[in-house]
Chains A and B, each alone.
Chain A
Amino acid sequence: MSQYDADVVIIGSGALGANAAYQLAKAGKSVIMLEAGPYIPRWKVVDNYRNSASKRNWCAPYPNLPWAPNSYSEGYVEAQGDKDFDYVTSFLKVAGGSTRHWASACWRLLPNDFKLKSVYGVGRDWPIAYEDLEPWYLRAEREIGVVGTAEEDQSGQRRDAWPPRSAPYPLPPEAKPYMVQRVQARLGPLGYQVIHEPHARVSRPYDGRPACAGNNNCEPVCPVGAMYSGDMHVDKAVALGVDLRTESVAWKLEKGAKNHIVAVHYRKPDGSNVRLSAKAFVVAAHGLETPKLLLMSDVANSSDQVGRNLMDHTGLSMTFLADEPLWTGRGSVQHGSIATRRDEPSRAQHSAIRYSLRNLVPNIDVTPALLKQGLMGRELDAAIRDRASRIMNISTMSETLPSPTNRVVPHPTRRDAAGLPTLQVNYQLDSYVRGMRPQAYRDFANFLMAFNGEIVEAPTGWRNQYHIMGTTIMGDDPRNSVVDAHCRSWDHPNLFLATTGVMPTSATVNPTLTGIALALRLADTLIQEL
């Protein structure tokens, strides 16, 4: 009988933790995976969504338990920062994690995104290059079923295919929605190239999943399971024998001899505590809870960087009425992107920008204002149809830089129902991200002109994109980074972090695919070592 409870304990069952668990289990390792929240099947989330009054609240259909609060729970994330910006983020605490309510954009970073400091003189470099991660990007794309074309310049610089790939995407692109055709037809002559956005809403049956049927409900849940979510790998991992323990809130990593982590302690809803020993530990509790657990445990922080360097894609969003029917809402919630500003020389001065095209069925957004105006009957119906056909939203994914003062800490006084600290965040926007506003305004003005648009909401306010990065930053120097190139804690040889918190640059793309690639790579390291 082993002296350990498991070979590996993984704390967190989101897409990153579950992918690592699955790989470890496939290699014959014994794995216990802790999840603070419950397991909820897809059908139940869909049912909750249909019966919810708050259909634009993407946490609403998911359980929000007192010992596993999500980020929308009043007071759970106490944020301080700038007067003109409220830090808001959107994470779930359920098996499968926050990919249960994502929209599944699956971009790779660009080679230059890994060397921001050496190419543009700002931010940090990664300790690894794009080429180092490329094989795991491909594996991640195959694991979760990514749809894309390998024929486009995803950096927006009018090259041929970029970044380089060792194999095509596992699935071909979906059809291009009429709205995107029109955006391309009207913005192309102005110099803006519309490209495909890679994503994990499978375009053909794949790995037991049906092809996307365009029900426009990716967020908060894909009703048919065409879109990837972390619970798919939770199920696969459990089928291979991974011991999933839900409603089990990790609250302490215990240090032992030679700086090894010897145990994790978790708490059940009844207040009882359990201690688990293992050869290795993986914390996969996203970019806010992971550093919180490390700080609560006083581990992995010899650099004093744990919880610091918090990044998001804080940016701007414009909603307008076009002069022609575009009919957003046909298909899934996002198709296509404008990457023209993703990797320009101006990255030396200000944030890069990628523009995201929203494709929501907009009735629930346009109707309240029309009712407030007092429209009724046939006139109201005609106005809903007209507005719904012409409304369009374009937002920026803007690059933020790692700053040590942008940080998350365990709240000094507030406690949740399990008696554990809630989160306290300080997050301010620096001149680098604020500096992209003039460029974004010029582009937005061109977009507006192209459609003879009428403003519904001007892009004057800042908003997060709910992408949490930087808080357990990766580097090549133990003095200023938390983990090494293999996501291993500099301080504890058997402690690994599977979170987008390790990313030293935020770039302008949704970070989950990069996180899964890093988690698969981390799992390979563990498989070799255990």
Chain B
Amino acid sequence: MNRRTFLRMMIASGVIFSVPVTGLSAITSAGAAHAFHDVSVILTGRQQLDPAISLRLYGLLSRQNPLFPQRLTQLAERLRHSAPLSSDARLAALSDEEVETALAIITPWYLGYTGHPATTRATDDAHFVSFLSALMYEPTADVTPRPSYSQRGSDYWQAVPEGVSAPPMPATIQAWGKASPRAASQIAEPQPAWLAMVEGRARTYAEALRLDGLAGGVS
């Protein structure tokens, strides 16, 4: 991600404006870990971050990058000094390095880990930050469980998920076995554009249609 994109995203997100800047004035006088917590609150848009996780994450990021404390101070300073400015000006004031630092802070709050977890190797450089309070679970908390914690009991998954208006379906769609709707008797050949996507030649249908020889792909 480049800095320009980041700035655009921050403006679009509105986060930096929606969070009161309480604590910012204390950044310079409080300890670095305290500053880390305050900056985290601003960058994530969450007032209720757990100070214990904050402390652990600050330690992890500092060990991972010895320059982190210094960069954090720099970012905190920038945010403090720019508080009176217009939002655009405030964001434009961030340097590439400050953008990088901001992302380094936001990412583990969302994911619940630092580093790069391996899926098929026994060792990696990942460190645990949090589980239940990983911010990535918040936007879906009404629909899906945080894995290993179920709040609803058996068979809740049959219902239409929260916030979804289900398209019309056959009345027997929920049944398994004989009562379940039968599929059509023939399988058609796929259209070339969809095949091109499966082959890795395009990501979207529109992209696929622009491929050579596929202009008529909707035949």
A59 to chain B, nearest CB (A): 7
> How far apart are the CA atoms of A95 and B181 in the complex, in Å?
43
Evaluate contact between A177 and B158: CB separation under 8 angstroms. Answer: yes
A263 to chain B, nearest CB (A): 33
Instruction: List chain A residues, Cβ under 8 A from B155.
Output: 174-175, 214
Evaluate whether A445 and B191 lie within 8 angstroms (CB atoms) in the complex, with A53-B113, A56-B117 already known.
Answer: yes
Majority DSSP secondary structure for residues of B touching A: loop
Q: B139-168 toward A: CB 8 Å interface, digit per residue (1/0)?
A: 110011111111011111111110110110
Count of A residues near B, CB < 8 Å?
Answer: 100
Q: A262-282 toward B: CB 8 Å interface, digit per residue (1/0)?
A: 000000000000000000000
- Identify the closest chain B residue to A202 (Cβ): B154
Let me know if A375 is at the binding interface, CB within 8 A: yes
Evaluate contact between B148 and A377: CB separation under 8 angstroms. Answer: no
- Identify the closest chain A residue to B46 (Cβ): A377
Evaluate whether A211 and B154 lie within 8 angstroms (CB atoms) in the complex, with A51-B131, A53-B127, A327-B144 already known.
Answer: yes
> How far apart are the CA atoms of A446 and B192 in the complex, in Å?
10
Q: Among B10, B106, B129, B199, which residue has its beta carbon within 8 angstroms of that of A53?
A: B129
Instruction: List chain A residues, Cβ under 8 A from B146.
Output: 361
> How far apart are the CA atoms of A214 and B146 in the complex, in Å?
11
Q: Among A178, A182, A446, which residue has its beta carbon within 8 angstroms of that of B188?
A: A446
Evaluate contact between B139 and A215: CB separation under 8 angstroms. Answer: no
Instruction: List chain B residues, Cβ under 8 A from A151.
Output: 176-178
Q: A181-194 toward B: CB 8 Å interface, digit per residue (1/0)?
A: 11011011111111
Q: Among B149, B152, B176, which residue has its beta carbon within 8 angstroms of that of A173?
A: B176
A81 to chain B, nearest CB (A): 15
Q: Which of A49-81 contact B (CB under 8 A)?
A: 49-57, 59-60, 64, 69-70, 72-74
Evaluate contact between A455 and B117: CB separation under 8 angstroms. Answer: no
Q: Which of B16-47 contact A (CB under 8 A)?
A: 16, 18, 43-45
Majority DSSP secondary structure for residues of A touching B: loop
> How far apart are the CA atoms of A454 and B124 in the complex, in Å?
31
Evaluate whether A376 and B190 lie within 8 angstroms (CB atoms) in the complex, with A55-B147, A175-B158, A318-B198 already known.
Answer: no
> How far apart are the CA atoms of A441 and B192 in the complex, in Å?
11
> How far apart are the CA atoms of A247 and B157 in the complex, in Å?
41
Q: B93-133 toward A: CB 8 Å interface, digit per residue (1/0)?
A: 00000000001001100111111011111111011110100
Instruction: List chain B residues, Cβ under 8 A from A431.
Output: none
Evaluate contact between B103 and A191: CB separation under 8 angstroms. Answer: no
Let me know if B67 is at the binding interface, CB within 8 A: no
> How far apart are the CA atoms of A463 and B148 in the complex, in Å?
26
Instruction: List chain A residues, Cβ under 8 A from B110.
Output: 367, 371, 380
Let me know if B187 is at the binding interface, CB within 8 A: yes
Evaluate contact between A191 and B128: CB separation under 8 angstroms. Answer: no
Evaluate whether A367 and B121 lie within 8 angstroms (CB atoms) in the complex, with A330-B144, A379-B9, A452-B205 already known.
Answer: no
Let me know if A41 is at the binding interface, CB within 8 A: no
Evaluate contact between B198 and A196: CB separation under 8 angstroms. Answer: no
Evaluate contact between A455 and B183: CB separation under 8 angstroms. Answer: no
> How far apart are the CA atoms of A458 and B160 in the complex, in Å?
29
Interface centre among B9, B120, B190 (most CB of A within 10 A): B120
B32 to chain A, nearest CB (A): 23
Let me know if B13 is at the binding interface, CB within 8 A: yes
> How far apart are the CA atoms of A382 and B110 in the complex, in Å?
13
Let me know if B169 is at the binding interface, CB within 8 A: yes
> How far apart are the CA atoms of A2 and B189 in the complex, in Å?
69
> How far apart are the CA atoms of A174 and B194 in the complex, in Å?
33
> How far apart are the CA atoms of A60 and B137 in the complex, in Å?
21
- Identify the closest chain B residue to A148 (Cβ): B176
Instruction: List chain B residues, Cβ under 8 A from A380.
Output: 13, 110
Evaluate contact between A214 and B170: CB separation under 8 angstroms. Answer: no
B135 to chain A, nearest CB (A): 8
Evaluate whether A373 and B164 lie within 8 angstroms (CB atoms) in the complex, with A51-B128, A213-B153 already known.
Answer: no
Let me know if A291 is at the binding interface, CB within 8 A: no
Evaluate contact between B154 and A203: CB separation under 8 angstroms. Answer: yes
Q: Among A88, A173, A368, A442, which residue has its beta carbon within 8 angstroms of that of B190?
A: A442
> How far apart are the CA atoms of A53 and B114 in the complex, in Å?
8
Evaluate contact between B203 and A455: CB separation under 8 angstroms. Answer: yes
Evaluate whether A448 and B122 lie within 8 angstroms (CB atoms) in the complex, with A178-B161, A325-B164 already known.
Answer: no
Evaluate contact between A192 and B111: CB separation under 8 angstroms. Answer: no
Instruction: List chain B residues, Cβ under 8 A from A384.
Output: 136, 139-140
Evaluate contact between B119 and A57: CB separation under 8 angstroms. Answer: yes
Let me know if B65 is at the binding interface, CB within 8 A: no
Q: A359-400 toward B: CB 8 Å interface, digit per residue (1/0)?
A: 001011001100111111111111011001100000000000
Let me know if A44 is at the binding interface, CB within 8 A: no
Evaluate contact between A59 and B174: CB separation under 8 angstroms. Answer: no
Let me know if B49 is at the binding interface, CB within 8 A: no
Let me know if B219 is at the binding interface, CB within 8 A: no
Evaluate contact between A175 and B174: CB separation under 8 angstroms. Answer: yes
Let me know if A444 is at the binding interface, CB within 8 A: yes
Evaluate contact between A446 and B194: CB separation under 8 angstroms. Answer: yes
Evaluate whether A196 and B43 lie within 8 angstroms (CB atoms) in the complex, with A217-B147, A454-B204 already known.
Answer: no
Evaluate contact between B131 and A213: CB separation under 8 angstroms. Answer: no
Evaluate contact between A377 and B15: CB separation under 8 angstroms. Answer: yes
Instruction: List chain B residues, Cβ under 8 A from A196.
Output: 176-177
Instruction: List chain A residues, Cβ under 8 A from B170.
Output: 185
A241 to chain B, nearest CB (A): 34
Evaluate contact between A361 and B128: CB separation under 8 angstroms. Answer: no
Closest 5 CB pairs of A and B: A377-B15, A377-B13, A445-B190, A151-B177, A331-B157
**7 extra A-B contacts, CB within 8 A, seeds A57-B124, A185-B181, A195-B176:** A53-B112, A214-B150, A223-B148, A325-B161, A329-B140, A363-B144, A389-B161
B residues near A, CB below 8 A? 1, 5-6, 9-10, 12-16, 18, 43-45, 103, 106-107, 110-115, 117-124, 126-129, 131, 135-140, 143-150, 152-161, 163-164, 166-167, 169-170, 173-178, 180-191, 194-195, 197-200, 202-205
- Between A and B, 8 residue pairs with Cβ closer than 8 Å are A46-B148, A53-B114, A54-B118, A56-B119, A152-B178, A184-B173, A214-B152, A364-B136
